[in-house]
Structure 1
């Protein structure tokens, strides 16, 4: 069901990282349907081309930029921004959806695993945002939405490195929001729990392997722990991102919007 105007984000250019993931893909489709010009990026070229084809069935080619990039590579980050600005102009919206999951207990984590998790989920995202933000500061406008997680609000068993990376995202969101709002730039985060995506399914498979259970058992257990009785959909997360991108959320600053089915309330 469409709940947003097809012109709600007209004249906006929004960069979406991690666009080849379940949430990033839905965010791209939703924001494009709201009239935004969008740049999509991800590491998987084949999936990017598939998303490009799907988007071009819904929007004109002159509103779309597609750029493959590995955000952990400084040269790729700069190339992404340059190509996006060259084709579509000033980036006044940024959706940081790139990231990975990974569940291990403390004693199983080595320095390489921890460094990779923090780099993929926090450091590289921070550094890309820093570059985009510098242009927003010049224009005195902009809107940034970071994809965090319920794991950035509370800890869970066997999830220490991932949780640490998402706590970092939430803390960064709050601190940056305080700095940015005086320049007309809003920064917020969305914090979903289990979402019906391949990333969540992989997480449940790993949990099943660790617990000596089946994927189906872990999925059923996850649903039982959620008062709504189901996982969130990627579209529901995309709609939350879209709302934060609109002027309707004009005085929502530094928030971590939970999408939990009632499992986390505070």
Structure 2
């Protein structure tokens, strides 16, 4: 029997990149997965590649959308795994960052994560099993120029993870954060395009700006992040909580 047979997992931002890799990894371990995100067409296409997967539309910035999406997911059975992966990033000098842009990033990366966690924590804390994994970033452990709103949001995610691990230590629920460096996803593609547009550099030079932050000199693959997430969701990770695990090629 696979490690997660009988468990049901929700992955937000599950249609592409890290979220989709996590969904596939958890499904391979036997979990029934529900992928959520804003683009239902993309979600449904992704779900067709995962046996038994369900796709549910979700906007984490909308309270009513979160309530409806998680009610629909719970109608099929208790949710005992949540991977908070939905997130966005923006790049600009701090003195040129509007309050609207600041709030836009916090609304998804922090407030959205809080809404989704609150949607499952009540029933989960009363059950015999619970795993909540927050996809943060190495930016949640250190600073970074031109991405102050994103860095602040990911620091908040790491801090929340640590706080909740203590608050709910008397239950079967664990809380952990995974903190990758630059991962080969659409977000990184957008970052490369942004560097090219602002500096006139070639794609190769722009990409080198990102890979040089990794001592291994490469982008991390989504499947590498998903492997760690799957372990944190497994029965044998029950004593691991409140951790911020870096996946960064040795960067600290």
TM bucket, shorter chain: over 0.9
Shift of 1:8: 0.8
Which position in structure 2 is the counterpart of 1:66? 55
Q: Which moved more, 1:41-50 or 1:166-175?
A: 41-50
Aligned counterpart for 1:254 among listed residues 237, 242, 249: 242
TM-score normalised over the length of structure 1: 0.91
Secondary structure, in 3 states, of the residue corresponding to 1:190?
Answer: strand
1:156 to 135, 144, 155: 144
Match of 1:177 in 2: 165
Aligned residues of 1:227 and 1:261 also touching (Cα < 8 A): yes
Deviation at 1:128, TM superposition (A): 1.5
Once the two structures are superposed, the pairs formed by residues 144-223 of structure 1 within 5 Å of their partners are 144-223=132-211
- Report the counterpart of residue 19 of structure 1 in structure 2: 14
- The aligned runs of 1:1-266 (5 Å cut-off) are 7-55=2-50, 59=51, 61=52, 64-87=53-76, 89-264=77-252
Structure 1 residue ranges, 4+ long, deviating more than 4 angstroms after superposition: none
Decide which structure has greater helix share.
Answer: 1
Distance 1:112 1:31 in 2: 36
Q: Is the 8 A contact 1:103 1:207 kept in 2?
A: no
Counterparts of 1:14 and 1:213, CA distance in 2: 42
Q: Distance in 1 between matches of 2:153 and 2:212?
A: 26
Are the equivalent residues in 2 in contact too, given 1:105–1:158 (CA < 8 A)?
A: yes
TM-score by length of 2: 0.96
**Alignment length (residue pairs):** 252
Aligned 8 A contact 1:227 1:263 in 2: yes
The answer on whether the counterparts of 2:22 and 2:227 sit within 8 Å (CA) in structure 1 is yes
Q: Which secondary structure does the structure 2 equivalent of 1:181 belong to?
A: coil
